[in-house]
């Protein structure tokens, strides 16, 4: 058995291999991916599907002079293996390890960072315009999947690229999958291109025959031209892309390295934008992933033998509780509709889809459309609930303001993955939604602290007559999950906080908090109160509107204040508290704000990163003791191992 991979520590080593050795290298890389990702977790299926494509690109091109831009970038592990980072995979997506996405700081071969979908063609156009001015780069390739192609931004870029005749190459990696089955008319169109290779032959014959027709008289010539265009339209491959001004090449077998490089050479000879339609199999070479590409899109540690997860079945996640509760509510209310932007499994909306397929909509990677379509659903009498990750909701911000809040639309936005998400790192942290949603008039915004409140808050948000936002974190829900019948769910009074530990006069400390930091704050306060301090805890429950009465009461009766939130501090919950104090002229003796400072939070385990930012019970206790001038007591009161 050869071992080409062991000799590859950079692109030059790859280029020394002959084309005939590259298939063996591909097998070795597949084995390497399975070996490593089965331990670290990561995006398995997408990377198994792009091994040959990546080898072909790097063997044919000269990166980093030639530029390769990865869309979403979750499929760029082979790119990282070939560009000198093979030995970093033991720490893939771990703290201080390499990112799961292209990252400029990691390598000159990572020309553009990624993580959010549908950005690659825009970046490629920008690079091509820079090359026109500075001429400091070679060929430019954008690799975009069929899922990412459902993102509107990709069409903005195709439109512009075709208009200016940008000299770029777009590789459409078509594996018929987004995370789940791909959706949309484009996806259907691609399948006709994929499945009718005869089209290519017929097109050639038709063109040959048409060109044989003698041009006689003006009328006949015009008719012939019209026939020619009509036939061209129906037979020419990739006409959609041709109409965007791209030269279409394909479909190309994305697992045949020689065929791929032949097409790269063909593309090189073409002036202007080229779209290479490459067909691959998501999960290629590993049957569990080939058979379940959605399940193996993003995985935790698993057993290679059968693909079974190494993680024991954990508690119900907030997403699961969301999906189950919404399904129960929808059984009692036919107006409730569920909307997702290509994330049915991640958001738990697939649970709703099974229960209410007639009121379930997956719009593809199109968060902007998801929000505004939901406002249309609402204006039509439905009660839309759009489930979108916090980080991806950033894509639909204008729509939240312009189409939902301004019109005071009765829409619920379930903001999933709100807070630290862990291994996906900077591009995926959900740490800005308080800050970008709190300023928006008409919006009500709440955050769940545990499984029970998650159900109550979803019920409250859906029944609230206007735009309501519920945010909750990634992963297992805190507290015990007891599925409630809809009849047992009660609406929470809008804007009403809850004193979990009562504020009396002359408190040593009151902790004001909301969402995922509530239970850790309660634990820290209990330790303090068991050690002679007077500590109160307020669960604000709503970031907007704030319960001004309780917060002012806390400020007036506490020597020290802590605010805690799993969010950036700027514009978040603590900002709201400070704004209130200033507006009401209430002095704050001493305050410590726990949250994320002016920085992006890198990848690492969720619990590890929360500890890093003192968002766990011990971290809150540590801050409390430093306020109480007893910082040294933290190890006594909460020894490290207790976490």
Ligand X SMILES: Cc1ncc(C[n+]2csc(CCOP(=O)(O)OP(=O)(O)O)c2C)c(N)n1
3 state DSSP class of 364: coil
Q: Nearest distance from residue 360's CB to Mg ion, in Å? A: 21
The verdict on 344 binding ligand DXP (CB under 6 A) reads: no
Residue 147 annotated as part of some ligand binding site: yes
Q: Nearest distance from residue 125's CB to ligand DXP, in Å? A: 23
User: Between 63 and 173, whose beta carbon lies closer to Mg ion?
Assistant: 173
Residue 575 annotated as part of some ligand binding site: no
The verdict on 430 binding ligand DXP (CB under 6 A) reads: no
CA distance 476 to 372: 30
Exactly one of 80, 282, 295, 369 binds ligand X (CB under 6 A); that residue is 282
Q: Nearest distance from residue 44's CB to Mg ion, in Å? A: 14
CA distance 246 to 273: 5
Per-residue binding string, ligand X, 86-125, x by CB under 6 A, is ------------------------------xx--------
Residue 240: how many CB atoms within 10 A of its CB? 16
Contact of 507 with 456, CB cutoff 8 Å: no
Residue 6 annotated as part of some ligand binding site: no
CA distance 106 to 70: 14
Stretch that binds Mg ion, among 95-103, 174-182, 183-191, 311-319 (CB under 5 A): 174-182
The verdict on 350 binding ligand X (CB under 6 A) reads: no
User: Between 28 and 433, whose beta carbon lies closer to ligand DXP?
Assistant: 433
| Binding-site partner at residue 395 among Mg ion, ligand X, ligand DXP, none, CB < 5 to 8 Å by type | ligand X
The verdict on 75 binding ligand X (CB under 6 A) reads: yes
Q: Is 80 tagged catalytic?
A: no
User: Between 43 and 131, whose beta carbon lies closer to ligand DXP?
Assistant: 43
Three-state SS for 569-600 is CCCCHHHHHHHHHHHCCCCCCEEEEEEECCCC
- Give the active site residue among 28, 52, 324, 367: 367
The verdict on 484 binding ligand X (CB under 6 A) reads: no
CA distances from 602 to 94, 101, 401, 424 (A): 9, 12, 29, 8
Stretch that binds ligand X, among 68-76, 450-458, 482-490, 538-546 (CB under 6 A): 68-76
Stretch that binds ligand DXP, among 133-141, 356-364, 416-424, 568-576 (CB under 6 A): 416-424
The verdict on 177 binding ligand X (CB under 6 A) reads: yes
Q: Is 212 tagged catalytic?
A: no
Q: Name 69's Cβ contacts closer than 8 Å, sequence gap at least 6.
A: 102, 111, 112, 114, 120, 123, 124, 127, 140, 141, 142, 143
CA distance 605 to 641: 17
Residue 106 annotated as part of some ligand binding site: no
The verdict on 146 binding Mg ion (CB under 5 A) reads: yes
CA distance 180 to 361: 13
User: Between 72 and 377, whose beta carbon lies closer to ligand DXP?
Assistant: 72
Residue 286 annotated as part of some ligand binding site: yes
Exactly one of 5, 26, 72, 183 binds ligand DXP (CB under 6 A); that residue is 72
DSSP 479: S
Q: Is 367 tagged catalytic?
A: yes
Residue 74 annotated as part of some ligand binding site: yes
DSSP 357: G
The CA-based angle 481-484-487, given to 5 degrees, is 165
Exactly one of 51, 81, 142, 148 binds ligand X (CB under 6 A); that residue is 148
Phi, psi of 470 (to 5 degrees): -120, 125
Which residue do the tokens 């009692």 mark? 332
The verdict on 37 binding ligand DXP (CB under 6 A) reads: no
Contact of 474 with 444, CB cutoff 8 Å: no
Residue 77 annotated as part of some ligand binding site: no
Exactly one of 79, 263, 474, 610 binds ligand DXP (CB under 6 A); that residue is 474
Stretch that binds Mg ion, among 126-134, 175-183, 313-321, 495-503 (CB under 5 A): 175-183
CA distance 538 to 547: 10
Query: 276: buried, middle or exposed (CB in 10 Å: 19+, 13-18, 0-12)?
Result: buried
592 strand-pairing partners = 562
CA distance 306 to 327: 32
Stretch that binds ligand X, among 140-148, 211-219, 266-274, 603-611 (CB under 6 A): 140-148
Binding-site positions for thiamine diphosphate read: 74, 115-117, 147-148, 175, 286, 367
Residues in contact with ligand DXP by CB under 6 A are 43, 72, 74, 179, 297-298, 346, 417, 421, 424, 474
Positions marked active-site: 282, 367, 395
Binding-site positions for Mg(2+) read: 146, 175
């Amino acid at each position: 058995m050869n071992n080409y991979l062991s000799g590859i520590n950079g692109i030059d080593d790859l280029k020394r291999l002959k084309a005939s050795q590259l298939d063996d290298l591909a097998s070795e890389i597949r084995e390497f991916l399975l070996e490593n990702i089965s331990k670290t977790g990561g995006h398995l299926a997408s990377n198994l599907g792009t091994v040959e494509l990546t080898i072909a690109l790097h063997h044919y091109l000269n990166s980093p002079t030639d530029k390769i831009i990865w869309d979403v970038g979750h499929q760029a592990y082979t790119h990282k293996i070939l560009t000198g980072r093979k030995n970093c995979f033991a720490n893939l997506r771990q703290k201080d390890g390499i990112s799961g996405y292209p990252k400029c700081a990691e390598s000159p071969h990572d020309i553009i960072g990624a993580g959010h979908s549908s950005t690659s063609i825009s970046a490629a156009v920008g690079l091509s315009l820079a090359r026109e001015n500075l001429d400091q780069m070679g060929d430019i390739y954008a690799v975009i999947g069929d899922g990412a192609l459902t993102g509107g931004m990709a069409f903005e870029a195709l439109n512009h690229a075709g208009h200016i005749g940008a000299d770029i190459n777009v590789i459409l990696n078509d594996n018929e999958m987004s995370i789940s089955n791909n959706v949309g008319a484009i996806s259907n169109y691609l399948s006709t291109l994929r499945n009718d290779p005869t089209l290519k032959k017929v097109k050639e014959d038709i063109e040959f025959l048409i060109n044989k027709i003698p041009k006689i008289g003006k009328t006949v010539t015009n008719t012939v031209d019209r026939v020619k265009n009509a036939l061209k339209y129906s037979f020419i491959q990739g006409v959609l892309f041709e109409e965007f001004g791209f030269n279409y090449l394909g479909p190309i077998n994305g697992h045949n390295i020689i065929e791929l490089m032949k097409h790269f050479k063909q593309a090189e000879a073409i002036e202007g934008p080229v779209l290479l339609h490459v067909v691959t199999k998501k999960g290629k070479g590993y049957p569990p992933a080939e058979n379940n590409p959605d399940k193996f899109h993003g995985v935790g540690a698993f057993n290679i033998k059968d693909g079974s997860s190494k993680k024991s079945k954990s508690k119900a996640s907030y997403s699961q509780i969301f999906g189950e509760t919404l399904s129960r509510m929808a059984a009692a209310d036919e107006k409730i509709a569920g909307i997702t932007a290509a994330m049915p499994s991640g958001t738990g909306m697939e649970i709703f889809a099974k229960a209410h397929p007639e009121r379930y909509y997956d719009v593809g990677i199109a968060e902007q459309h998801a929000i505004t379509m939901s406002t249309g659903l609402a204006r039509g009498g439905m009660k839309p609930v759009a489930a979108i990750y916090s980080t991806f909701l950033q894509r639909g911000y204008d729509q939240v303001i312009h189409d939902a809040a301004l019109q005071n639309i009765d829409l619920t936005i379930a903001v999933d993955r709100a807070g630290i998400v862990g291994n996906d790192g900077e591009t995926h942290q959900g740490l800005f939604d308080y800050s970008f949603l709190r300023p928006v008039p008409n919006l009500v915004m709440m955050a769940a602290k545990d499984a029970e409140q998650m159900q109550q808050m979803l019920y409250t948000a859906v029944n609230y007559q206007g735009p309501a936002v519920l945010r909750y974190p990634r992963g297992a829900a805190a507290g015990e999950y007891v599925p409630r019948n809809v009849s047992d769910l009660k609406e929470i009074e809008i804007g009403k906080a809850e004193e979990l530990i009562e504020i009396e006069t002359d408190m040593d400390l009151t902790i004001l908090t909301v969402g995922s930091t509530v239970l850790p704050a309660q634990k820290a306060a209990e330790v303090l109160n068991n050690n002679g301090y007077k500590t109160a805890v307020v669960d604000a429950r709503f970031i907007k509107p704030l319960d001004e009465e309780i917060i002012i009461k806390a400020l007036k009766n506490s020597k020290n204040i802590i605010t805690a939130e799993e969010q950036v501090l700027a514009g978040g919950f603590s900002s709201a508290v400070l704004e209130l104090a200033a507006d009401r002229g209430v002095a704050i003796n001493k305050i410590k704000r726990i949250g994320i400072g002016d920085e992006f939070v890198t990848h690492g385990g969720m619990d590890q990163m929360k500890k890093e930012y003192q968002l766990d019970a011990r971290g809150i206790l540590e801050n409390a003791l430093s306020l109480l001038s007893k910082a040294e007591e933290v190890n006594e009161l909460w020894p490290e191992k207790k976490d």
